[in-house]
Amino acid sequence: MPDLSRLDPLKPILPWLLLALGLVAPFALSSYDLNLLARFMAMGILALGLVLIWGHGGILSLGQGVFFGLGGYAIAIHMKLADLPQGQIPDFMLWSGRESLPLWWEPFTSPAFTIAAILIVPTLAGALFSWAVFHRRVGGTYFALITQALALAFSTLIISRQDVTGGFNGLTDFTSVFGFGLSSPGTGPVLYWVTLAILCVAFIGLRWLLASRFGILLRAARDGENRVRFLGYSPTPFKVVAFAIAAMLAGIGGALFTLHAGVVSPALIGVVPSIEMVVWVAIGGRYSLAGAIVGALLVNFARDAVSSAFPELWLYLMGALFIFVVTLLPQGLAGLAKGKAA
């Protein structure tokens, strides 16, 4: 095992501290706050993926909302179908004048298919998309702009296909998932533990990945792509695999978020939400896995507190955060914790 302390600018105590807090939370928080925390932890799973591609791969994606949405809509479609009496179609389809279920909704009645879709669809989409751009050696700023266009196209498409996606309002009003009633008192904590477990697995897995040869080559490609080529490696597969993993984590995060929030809609996955995801990681620390989780929790709790009282203020604050953090704290809070604010 190589030395990880140089990798992660944070003291090794922080992950343990986070884990301890995560274990105590269900016994200390009200069910409302626990639900919020669980939502933001699901977003933390997505943030971990951004550390992999942006911090260690130098790949800035402004379209993670797309993969978040793919996971979220997959579970939402399953829950919509699970609530339906035999032979009926969801109410929003009736309102838009549809007579029957669209063909691609059908397989989502199966829980196994749904879970497979959550894991595979975003991963495959991320792999194909990033390969199409990276294998022609297009990267950097161009890639960021293309991902933003992807986020716009995806959210516009969902809004305009109201009859099969629920349009601007998205999908909501779920009653149960895999047989558990969402409103019954025991379900919330169970979902919370599942989210915490997945977050831990993602954290440990990425920590291992970043320390492995794969991580070393990814960072090498970030710092000198052509040098890596001269050393006999093609950077493309490394970048594509990293992007696919980040897309998968985003998809899982999206599915869990949808379970906790009880809604998935274009407003959560478009251009602005996608770039907000980057700000969580920028604030927490783009090189630090634990930092990204802290960033996702901090920004979202702050957002919850500020925007409920002053919705306009939040956008000013977020704009200022972007300017301030990127200019003065490129390593985010993790850099501060290390005492090396650049």
Partner 1 sequence: MDALFLNQLFNGASLASLYLLAALGLALSFGLMRVINMAHGEMLMLGGYLAWMTLLVVPGALGIILAIPVAFIGAAAMGGLIQSTLIRRLSARPLDTLLATWGVSLILQQGARDLFGAIGVEVRAPEWLSGSFTLAGITLPSARLFIILIAALVLGALALLLLKTRIGLLVRAVNQDRMMASAVGVGVRRVDFTVFCLGSGVAGLAGVMLALLGPVTPNVGQSYIIPAFLVVVMGGLGSIVGTTASAIILGLFAALAQIFVDVSVAQMLLLVFVILFIQVRPQGVVAVKTRQLDA
Q: Which residues bind partner 1 (CB under 8 A)?
A: 58, 60, 129, 132-133, 136-138, 140-142, 144-146, 148-150, 152-154, 156-157, 159-161, 224, 226, 271, 275, 278-279, 282, 312, 315-316, 318-323, 326-327, 330
Per the CB < 8 A criterion, the answer to whether 35 and 188 are in contact is yes
**Least distance from partner 1 to the Cβ atom of residue 203, Å:** 24
Name which of 168 and 178 has its Cβ closer to partner 1: 168
**Least distance from partner 1 to the Cβ atom of residue 230, Å:** 9
Closest-CA residue to 47 (of 32, 67, 20, 29): 67
Q: How many CA atoms lie within 13 A of 93 on its CB side?
A: 15
Dmax (CA) of the chain: 62
Name which of 174 and 287 has its Cβ closer to partner 1: 287
Residue with tokens 């669209």: 102
Per the CB < 8 A criterion, the answer to whether 159 and 267 are in contact is no
Per the CB < 8 A criterion, the answer to whether 54 and 278 are in contact is yes
- Contacts of range 320-323, beta carbons closer than 8 Å, 24 or more positions apart: 321/279, 321/283, 322/279, 322/282
Task: Supply the DSSP string of 292-336, one letter for each residue.
Answer: HHHHHHHHHHHHHHHHHH-HHHHHHHHHHHHHHHHHH-TTHHHHH
Q: State the DSSP code for 29.
A: S
User: How far is residue 302's CA from residue 200's CA, in Å, rounded to a whole number?
Assistant: 23
Q: State the DSSP code for 8.
A: S
**Least distance from partner 1 to the Cβ atom of residue 174, Å:** 26
**Least distance from partner 1 to the Cβ atom of residue 92, Å:** 18
**Least distance from partner 1 to the Cβ atom of residue 225, Å:** 8
Name which of 166 and 262 has its Cβ closer to partner 1: 166
Name which of 142 and 208 has its Cβ closer to partner 1: 142
| Region of 179 on the Ramachandran plot (φ > 0 left; ψ -120 to 50 alpha; else beta) | left
**Least distance from partner 1 to the Cβ atom of residue 132, Å:** 5
Name which of 142 and 178 has its Cβ closer to partner 1: 142
**Between the CA of residue 191 and those of 116, 222, 240, 258, 263, what are the distances in Å?**
18, 37, 31, 11, 15
